[in-house]
Amino acid sequence: MARDDKYCASNYSYHEMIKLVMGKNFWQSNDLDDKLETFYVSDGPVGVRSTLDNNLCDKNEEIPSTAYPSGEVLASTFNVSLAKEYAKSIADDLIERKLDVLLAPGINIKRNPLCGRNFEYFSEDPLLSGELAKYYIEGLNEKHVGSSLKHYICNNSEYQRNWVSSEVDERALQEIYLANFKRAFQGKPWTLMCSYNLLNGVRMSENKPLYDFAYAHGFDGLIISDWGAVKDATLSINAGLHLIMPYDKRLEDQLIKDLDNGRLNKEALKNAAQKVLDLIKKNEEEKKYRKIEKSLRERKEVALNVALEGIVLLQNKGNILPLKDKNIKILVAGAPTVQYFNGGGSSRVAIEEPFKTLASSLREIGYKNIDEGEIATDNRAHAINMGNFKKFIEKAYENDVLIMGVGGDKNLFSEDFDRQDMKLANEEILAIKRAALTHKKIVLLVYGGGAVELEEVSQLVDAIIYVGFSGERVSDALAKLFTGEKCFSGRLAETFALSLKDYPSSSTYVDESLISYSEGLDVGYRHFVTHDVNTLYPFGYGLSYSEFVYSNLKVIKDEKNHLIHVSFNVKNVGEYDAKEVVLLFVSPLTKNVYRPKRELKRFDKVFIKKGEEETIKFTLDIDDFKYFNLNYHEFVFDHGRYRIEINKDAENVILSEEILL
């Protein structure tokens, strides 16, 4: 075979093509016994998780790497530039390890707060999720490494994920669950990973209509299976899947058998093999331009910066924070303050250095009177191992401020299983109640990977900080935020309801075969604001040490180009230089069909020095006012009245103006 012909599928036998459309092993494409180059993949999206060392030798154990904040925390930054920087930093980790494709980002919609993998995913909102994914993918592309956009599609729960059918109506599918993928396709991901589940009765590894949809909406790469998602290799290849991962002899034997009996479509096999060859060629070309730009220390600074912008201040009674007096007596306790808390499954990352405790970071930043105590020392899916709680209470009386860390880790938030509820453990609630009786100031740190019921404890503590899984630099980030050296700017990318029953997805029909998405468009804040359901902390909520005033909203219609130009001013009238998240929603006032009360259409994050003012500008186009019409099976625009809203969060409108379109 001529060298120029090795990337042409027609030059290989059908049996060689079968090998090409399956991985060589767990991490690698097939090289046909060294006839071809190969590419290596790595788990993501919160860092490099691979058992391959820097020489690509499989050590059969995870190699430690930089552990970045979770996708949920990244989304809470509302900062697309930071999402790109995050991805470029992980790319340097990949390049250092000689790996080629990161299996990330994961962008499944947070339909139900109990989903075990919600910590990996961005948001309940498709615009925020899709925009972050687009910039994430662009960051990897700029570093000449590959991405794998996942999990396509409607893998919004870990319940029976290999066998359950997500039953979704066409409009919800188009407006919610496909909308984020369409936006992410603009970033040009190298691969698209199919999910484990079925959609409306068709397994996603065999779902030709949804594969065709992806190609019709800007995707032009290779479609790869999630690991073990393929049950029938022949149906999958015939439907347009290109690469089955990992290697499975049973599936290889099936393809060989069905090649001989005519069940395997030879053209589909050839097309799949060609896509694999195209990716191998692309990877070889991109390798020439790869270089590490950030030192390991600089990459860890990126992890720190994401944590600083993604940690969310939920409550700050009496402005107890920041703790400006570094002579104040502080008692720190709770398992997450002394152990590294992260999510489980394929996105877990082993940290390279011993975990830095919160007490250590506080001392390092200058607090002189730090004591440590024990409350819950472990949380194994709510099976709490209590520490010396009695001693903690005794110490509490001797200190001015109690910092209490609660929440779950990989034993509670993980791939393969869903949470059973949104509650803190009973022992954690007891610890908070008993601590409140000391009448000391209490700062509650909530670690974990998703929404938590906090109404009861919010009455007992002074401040609440949602930490999430903020990566290996979490303690340093918290210390900087405690001092006021850095200002809180994180906003919730999902709704924290008063209780689980308030989410419509918690009461829809489920059995051994299917999950009914009968709530339709009422996902996340769309449900809460449309039906006036009270929440504890709405989508987009987050406090700051500073204060911002909004004014001078202008909405100008450009009839000729079908554009709406929106501008307004934001002034920092507080005492801190700070970043502010700005949110623009559209509310349809004229309705021919059911539409949510408001939907996010633009967002940004801006840095404004104290006393200064910035003018924010957004441009909307006709697509921002459309909905999916079930009669025409396409997005349509209805003439009528709409309200442009500038919000603090999904529930609180600051400025608004009605327009006739």
Query: Pairing between strand 165-167 and 599-608?
Result: unpaired
> What are 267-303's pLDDT values in tens digits?
999 999 999 999 999 999 999 999 999 999 999 999 9
Contacts of 389 (CB under 8 A, 6+ apart): 374, 375, 431, 434
Strands annotated E in 357-459: 369-373, 376-380, 383-386, 401-407, 441-447
Residue in the block written with tokens 């967002």: 603
Indicate if 226 belongs to the active site: yes
Higher-confidence residue: 388 or 90?
Answer: 90
Decide if 361 contacts 475 (C-beta within 8 A).
yes
Flag whether pLDDT at 157 surpasses 70. Answer: yes
Beta bridge partners of 417: 414
Q: For residue 40, what pLDDT band results from cuts at 50, 70 and 90?
A: very high
pLDDT at site 93? 97
* DSSP structural state of residue 581: E
Strands annotated E in 388-493: 401-407, 441-447, 463-468
The tokens describing 202, both together, are: 């068709």
Strand order in the sheet with 198-199: 202-203, 198-199, 165-167, 514-516
pLDDT at site 466? 98
> What are 468-481's pLDDT values in tens digits?
999 999 999 999 99
Bond prior to 105 in cis (omega within 30° of 0): yes
**3-class secondary structure, 554:** strand
Fold for the domain defined by 548-660:
Immunoglobulin-like (2.60.40)
Decide if 550 contacts 655 (C-beta within 8 A).
yes
Based on its alpha-carbon atoms, the radius of gyration of the chain, rounded to whole angstroms, reads 25
pLDDT at site 572? 98
Decide if 115 contacts 418 (C-beta within 8 A).
yes
Q: Which helix (H) or strand (E) holds 303?
A: helix 296-310
Annotated catalytic residue: which of 92, 93, 226, 624? Answer: 226
Domain residues of the chain, as ranges? 3-287, 301-537, 548-660
User: Distance between CA atoms of 551 and 656, rounded to whole angstroms?
Assistant: 10
> What are 572-609's pLDDT values in tens digits?
999 999 999 999 999 999 999 999 999 999 999 999 99
Flag whether pLDDT at 118 surpasses 80. Answer: yes
Flag whether pLDDT at 1 surpasses 60. Answer: no
Helices (H), 110-168: 126-142
Contacts of 157 (CB under 8 A, 6+ apart): 111, 112, 114, 115, 164, 418, 515
Share of the chain above pLDDT 70, in %: 98
Flag whether pLDDT at 3 surpasses 60. Answer: no
pLDDT at site 644? 98
Could you tell me the CA-to-CA distances from 255 to 61, 96, 240, 484, 532 in Å, in that order?
31, 36, 14, 61, 54
Share of the chain above pLDDT 90, in %: 95
Averaged pLDDT of the chain: 96
Fold for the domain defined by 3-287:
TIM Barrel (3.20.20)
Decide if 204 contacts 210 (C-beta within 8 A).
yes
Q: Do 3-287 and 548-660 share a fold?
A: no
Decide if 25 contacts 247 (C-beta within 8 A).
yes
User: Distance between CA atoms of 333 and 534, rounded to whole angstroms?
Assistant: 32
Whether domain 301-537 has CATH 1.10.1040.10: no
Select from 157, 272, 292 the least CA-distant residue to 205.
Answer: 272
Q: What are phi and psi of 631, to 5 degrees?
A: -75, -45
The tokens describing 235, both together, are: 């149906």
Could you tell me the CA-to-CA distances from 66 to 348, 351, 596 in Å, in that order?
11, 6, 41
| Angle, helices 296-310/474-483, rounded to nearest 10 degrees | 50
- Provide the CA 401 distance to its chain's centre, in angstroms: 33
User: Distance between CA atoms of 526 and 504, rounded to whole angstroms?
Assistant: 11
Query: Pairing between strand 401-407 and 441-447?
Result: parallel
> What are 390-446's pLDDT values in tens digits?
999 999 999 999 999 999 999 999 999 999 999 999 999 999 999 999 999 999 999
pTM value is 0.97
Residue in the block written with tokens 């002394």: 338
pLDDT at site 132? 98
User: Distance between CA atoms of 421 and 428, rounded to whole angstroms?
Assistant: 15
pLDDT at site 382? 64
Could you tell me the CA-to-CA distances from 173 to 135, 152, 184, 312, 629 in Å, in that order?
23, 12, 16, 30, 12
Decide if 564 contacts 555 (C-beta within 8 A).
yes
Flag whether pLDDT at 310 surpasses 60. Answer: yes
> What are 327-384's pLDDT values in tens digits?
999 999 999 999 999 999 999 999 999 999 999 999 999 999 999 999 877 766 667 7
User: Distance between CA atoms of 461 and 48, rounded to whole angstroms?
Assistant: 37
User: Distance between CA atoms of 367 and 259, rounded to whole angstroms?
Assistant: 70
Overall size of the chain counted in residues: 661
Select from 471, 534, 469 the least CA-distant residue to 501.
Answer: 534
Select from 63, 3, 1 the least CA-distant residue to 27.
Answer: 63
CA dihedral for 425, 427, 430, 431, sign (positive or negative): negative
Beta bridge partners of 554: 567
pLDDT at site 386? 85
> What are 522-576's pLDDT values in tens digits?
999 999 999 999 999 999 999 999 999 999 999 999 989 999 999 999 999 999 9
User: Distance between CA atoms of 200 and 269, rounded to whole angstroms?
Assistant: 25
Query: Pairing between strand 441-447 and 653-660?
Result: unpaired
Residue in the block written with tokens 């729960």: 157
The tokens describing 390, both together, are: 């009695």
pLDDT at site 377? 73
User: Distance between CA atoms of 596 and 441, rounded to whole angstroms?
Assistant: 41
User: Distance between CA atoms of 660 and 486, rounded to whole angstroms?
Assistant: 43
